[in-house]
Chain A
């Protein structure tokens, strides 16, 4: 009997260690994205910033004005196409990236976008 208990104990120990390691090791990119008993959400970015972010003035991150899709901004034409980029390939729609070291300049993502300016965020209040 004691000869059977030794393998049992060893197997239990190995199993427990394996279970522990599986709990402790994430995918290695910041954090596993799981919380507690398995909620997928919340994620630690792998690295950090320090001090001021150092932008302002002309670095604009907001949406266009207008408060809606048609307020002073034309709606993109169906099917897109838009204005072709000057001297650069069009993005989307199978266009090639990186030729000539450019991505089509500052315009030309195409494929449904560039007819009359960008829309804005929803403008209807509650």
Chain B
């Protein structure tokens, strides 16, 4: 062996040889790691399906610890570290999203943001539909032990979203508590084209809403519930994107808290169509997050729905 190694050095420097060996061993080391243990989407034990429902979100950020500090201070979230570069955000013990740390490539301008995961029953079939209707696959399907299968796409207008076929079913339909995600909006350049795309892929019912702002506003619904909105990009915006909203008790207080924690206010609080205030903030790394009040008057109990098993609460949104 000693003689062979000496001969090998004729063809490459020792340092390069070590690098080559390390690179060849790296994939093996990666395979040796335990599987990526992301939490199940539904822990209820009843496998209910709600295709078209937003059931997960992942933040990509260059600073996981900094993001945890911000969102903990904003919404009372706690975090479970899955890997050095991935943590699950929880509220009252319930997983409500993930945070992915990835460096922004040097010299590139990238926008941190929350990736929206929409429920599908059959990822393969939904993927084919999406591609047939003009989507672009950004990350191919991958299956995780407790989670299910997920893949990332850009819709025909360029907004990134993910599809997730949960192996434990989808979370039930309940009014979000403060600190939980409550609503999702797609800001896009062509609302009609986008509505047709999402309807074709997820089977939504599509409703146009009256507008007095010159923009088009559309509601996507499934299971008789509004799941998301589609809105004409506001003036000055050029890049279609999904925007997710966290329920808060007081948007004024929440926006002030965001600034105190190093974030920015992108849209000052104003009264939206449901009667409560809405605002948009950016975390310290630029990821936009919507804030939405939902008043008790709006949150009428629906007797048709069964009560959800309660879990201990901790923390909460301002």
Contact = CB atoms under 8 A, between A and B. Distances in A.
Interface in B216-266: 216-219, 221, 224-226, 229, 231, 234-239, 241, 243, 245, 265-266
Interface in A20-47: 20, 27, 29-47
Interface string A68-98: 1111000110001000000000011000010
Contacts, number: 331
Interface residues of A, number: 82
Nearest to B199: A92
B33 interface: yes
Contact of A37 (B36, B140, B216): B36
Nearest to A82: B207
Given A35-B101, A40-B151, A52-B267, A47 B109 contact: yes
B101 to A, nearest CB: 7
B2 interface: no
Contacts of B174: 122, 124-126
B7 to A, nearest CB: 5
A53 B235 CA distance: 9
A47 B24 contact: no
A125 B33 CA distance: 40
B132 interface: no
Given A36-B86, A65-B298, A68-B300, A5 B7 contact: yes
A37 B234 CA distance: 38
B78 interface: no
A49 B273 CA distance: 25
B36 to A, nearest CB: 5
A12 B86 contact: no
A32 B60 CA distance: 11
B128 interface: no
Interface of B: 4, 7-8, 10-12, 16, 19-20, 23-24, 27, 30, 33, 36, 38, 58-60, 83-86, 98-102, 104, 109-113, 115, 117, 136, 138-142, 144, 150-152, 154, 160, 162, 173-177, 182-183, 185, 187, 190-193, 195-196, 199, 205-213, 215-219, 221, 224-226, 229, 231, 234-239, 241, 243, 245, 265-268, 270, 272-276, 278, 280, 286, 288, 290, 292, 294, 298-302, 305, 307-308, 310
A109 B142 CA distance: 33
Contacts of B83: 35-37, 39
A69 B225 contact: yes
A122 B222 CA distance: 11
A60 B187 CA distance: 11
24 contacts: A5-B4, A5-B8, A9-B8, A20-B23, A35-B86, A40-B141, A41-B98, A46-B111, A48-B109, A54-B234, A59-B231, A61-B187, A62-B183, A62-B245, A67-B300, A67-B302, A109-B196, A114-B207, A119-B221, A120-B298, A124-B301, A124-B305, A125-B175, A126-B174
Nearest to B140: A40
Contact of B115 (A42, A65, A76, A111): A42
Contacts of A36: 36, 83-86
